């Protein structure tokens, strides 16, 4: 009897031991945010490096109910995940739609507010919070003050109005450097040589913003395969930047036009060279369905086409959309002037890159000889350039 009781006690103790071992790897993530987001879907997925071609798939998803969501699972070691929220249309909470969290054993709390997010409940998340997390919240606070200050200023002494934005953008960048960069260095040093340290080295700042001493000490601790991916990506990015800079130089006023090949909505391929010359003044209009300022220019372009089409003005709209349906809906709704074409490659459109277009709307005027007459005139200036061109090229 005693022997049987002893065996039972051993078995119970062993079961308790193994259960407790299993519990050591359990985690829960509880998110709290305003109830206005109830019904939105929250997804949990491993975080991916921005330079990686791999796309992480969600491991779980839940719906926000009563201002709360919760994930549960097991994890072997601290790993960075992304918490993303679908169906959010406002930006009252910074980076609401995608937040990083270090998934590790324990009960993790995520509280969302107008400054961003607060993480608590587990060691690595709390270490993150007192460094990077607090620095990011302070950055948001200072930038909000800066934005209010900027909006109250019409013009800086001795500056043109458009210099105001440049001045405040520089101040905003300085706020980031003073707050986030030193905090990131402190956190990453603490977790150097781990997947957490590797991820936040690249996540928080551009490598060029860190101190050289920090980079020399930490960069070699990053996994070789990650460094190789980053360096390959960085070389490709530098090549693109160099090509883009050359494209801008090659499309300055007086330079010959560059070919564009794209399709109309019916699939017919169009080449810009089919229209250049032939006594035409071509107005290239780079735009997109999602670009509100582009849509606002549609009436002006229609007005110009109506006034000068008989004299040789040809508007060619070059859309940088990637979604055919949205492009076609915009064509039907707004009926933009002239011939409308698109590569449907979004910001990777060859035509955008070849003309060095950094932002849209963007216009290029090409004269009847095939040379660029003007680069990015808008509004009254665009009217003026076109009017002067036709006045000086009237038949004699």
Query: What is the DSSP track for 243-276?
Result: HHHHHHHHTSTTSBP---EEE-TTS-EEEGGGTS
Whether 16 is in a domain gets the answer no
Q: CA angle at residue 197 from 193 to 201, to 5 degrees?
A: 120
- CATH code, 66: 2.60.40.10
Q: How many domains does the chain have?
A: 2
Q: Cβ distance 98 to 82 under 8 Å?
A: yes
* CA–CA distance, 77 with 345 (Å, rounded to integer): 40
User: Within 13 A of 210's CA, how many CA atoms are on the CB side?
Assistant: 23
Give one word for 15, left, alpha or beta, with left for phi > 0 and alpha for psi -120 to 50.
alpha
318 and 346 part of one domain: yes
Decide: helix, strand or coil at residue 64. Answer: coil
Give pLDDT tens digits for 39-53: 999 999 999 999 988
Residues 39 and 131 placed together within one structural domain of the fold: yes
Q: Is 200 inside a domain boundary?
A: yes
State how far the Cα of 120 lies from the Cα of 136, in Å rounded to an integer.
16
For residue 19, CA distances in Å to 77, 104, 161 come to 18, 18, 67
Whether pLDDT at 155 is above 90: no
Per-residue pLDDT of 232-289, as tens digits, reads 999 999 999 999 999 999 999 999 999 999 999 999 999 999 999 888 999 999 999 9
Q: How many helices (DSSP H) and strands (DSSP E) are in the chain?
A: 12, 15
Domain that holds residue 125: 26-250
Q: Is the pLDDT of residue 138 over 50?
A: yes
Q: Any idea what the CATH number is for the domain that residue 295 is in?
A: 3.40.30.10
> Per DSSP, what are the bridge partners of residue 102?
80
Q: Residue 163 has what pLDDT?
A: 67
Last residue of a domain, one of 250, 273, 295: 250
pTM beyond 0.75, yes or no: no
In a domain, 4, yes or no: no
Confidence of residue 313 (pLDDT cuts 50, 70, 90): very high
Question: Would you give the distance in Å from CA 25 to the centre of its chain?
Answer: 34
Residue 18 reports pLDDT greater than 70? no
Place of tokens 């500056």: 159
Query: Same domain for 226 and 269?
Result: no
Does residue 11 register a pLDDT over 50? no
Q: What mean pLDDT value characterizes the chain?
A: 89
Give dist(CA 184, CA 27) in Å, integer: 25
Q: Say how many residues make up the chain.
A: 396
For residue 383 the two structure tokens come to 């009217």
CA distances from 361 to 290, 295, 318, 329, 385 (A): 11, 9, 10, 18, 17
Are residues 280 and 181 both part of a single domain? no
Q: Are residues 300 and 359 in the same domain?
A: yes
Six-digit token string for 350: 């060859």
**pLDDT: is 89 or 187 the higher one?**
187
User: With bands split at pLDDT 50, 70 and 90, how would you rate the model's confidence at 2?
Assistant: very low
Q: Is the peptide bond before 202 cis (omega within 30 degrees of 0)?
A: no
In this prediction, residue 9 carries a pLDDT of 45
Examine the fold and report which residue of 223, 250, 277 is the final residue of a domain before the chain moves on: 250
Contact present, 70 and 30 (Cβ < 8 Å): yes
Q: Please say if the pLDDT value at position 14 is more than 50.
A: no
Question: Does residue 51 sit in the same domain as residue 75?
Answer: yes
Phi, psi of 244 (to 5 degrees): -65, -40
Residue 281, classified by CB atoms within 10 Å of its CB into exposed (0-12), middle (13-18) or buried (19+), is: buried
Report yes or no: 205 and 181 within 8 Å, Cβ to Cβ. yes
Q: Is 216 in the same domain as 326?
A: no
For 48, residues 6+ apart whose C-beta sits below 8 A from its C-beta are 54, 55, 56, 82
Shared domain check, 284 and 197: no
Distance separating alpha carbons of residues 336 and 363, to the nearest angstrom: 14
| Contacting residues for 352 by C-beta, under 8 A, at least 6 apart | 286, 318, 320
340 shares a domain with 376: yes
CB atoms within 10 A of CB 89: 6
pLDDT tens profile 104-133 = 999 999 999 989 999 999 999 999 999 999
Residues 100 and 130 in one domain: yes
42 touches 77 (CB < 8 A): no
Parallel, antiparallel or unpaired: strands 362-366 and 269-271 = unpaired
- As a whole-number percent, the residues of the chain with pLDDT over 90 amount to 78
Confidence at 193, pLDDT banded by 50, 70, 90: very high
Q: Say whether pLDDT at 72 is over 90.
A: yes
């Amino acid at each position: 009897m005693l022997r049987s009781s002893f065996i039972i006690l051993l078995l119970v103790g062993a079961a308790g031991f193994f259960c407790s071992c299993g519990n050591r790897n359990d985690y829960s993530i509880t998110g709290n945010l305003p109830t206005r987001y109830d019904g939105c879907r929250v997804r949990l997925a491993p975080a991916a490096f921005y330079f990686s071609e791999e796309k992480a798939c969600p491991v779980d998803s839940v719906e926000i109910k009563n201002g709360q969501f919760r994930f549960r699972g097991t994890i072997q070691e601290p790993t960075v995940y992304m918490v993303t929220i679908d169906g959010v249309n406002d930006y009252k909470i910074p980076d609401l739609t995608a937040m990083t969290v270090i998934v590790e054993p324990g009960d993790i709390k995520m509280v969302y507010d107008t400054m961003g997010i607060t993480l608590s409940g587990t060691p690595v998340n709390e270490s993150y919070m007192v460094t990077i997390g607090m620095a990011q919240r302070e950055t948001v606070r200072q930038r909000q003050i800066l934005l209010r200050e900027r909006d109250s200023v019409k013009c800086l002494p001795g500056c043109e109005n458009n210099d105001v934005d440049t001045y405040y953008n520089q101040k905003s960048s300085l706020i980031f450097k003073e707050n986030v960069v030193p905090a990131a260095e402190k956190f990453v040093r603490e977790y150097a040589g781990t997947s957490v340290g590797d991820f936040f080295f690249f996540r928080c700042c551009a490598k060029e913003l860190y101190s050289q001493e920090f980079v020399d000490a930490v960069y070699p601790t990053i996994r070789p395969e990650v460094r190789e991916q980053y360096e390959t990506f960085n070389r490709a990015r530098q090549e693109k930047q160099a090509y883009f800079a050359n494209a801008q130089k090659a499309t300055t006023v007086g330079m010959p036009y560059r070919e564009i090949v794209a399709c109309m909505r019916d699939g017919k391929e169009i080449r810009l060279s089919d229209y250049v010359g032939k006594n035409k003044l071509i107005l290239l209009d780079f735009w997109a369905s999602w670009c509100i300022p582009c849509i606002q220019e549609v009436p002006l372009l229609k007005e110009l086409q109506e006034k000068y089409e008989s004299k040789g003005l040809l508007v060619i709209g070059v859309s940088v959309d990637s979604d055919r349906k949205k492009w076609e809906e915009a064509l039907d709704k707004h009926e933009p002037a002239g011939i409308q074409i698109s590569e449907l490659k979004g910001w990777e459109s060859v035509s955008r890159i070849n003309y060095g277009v950094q932002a849209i709307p963007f216009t290029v005027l090409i004269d009847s000889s095939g040379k660029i007459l003007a680069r990015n005139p808008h509004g009254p200036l665009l009217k003026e350039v076109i009017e002067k061109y036709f006045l000086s090229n009237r038949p004699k």
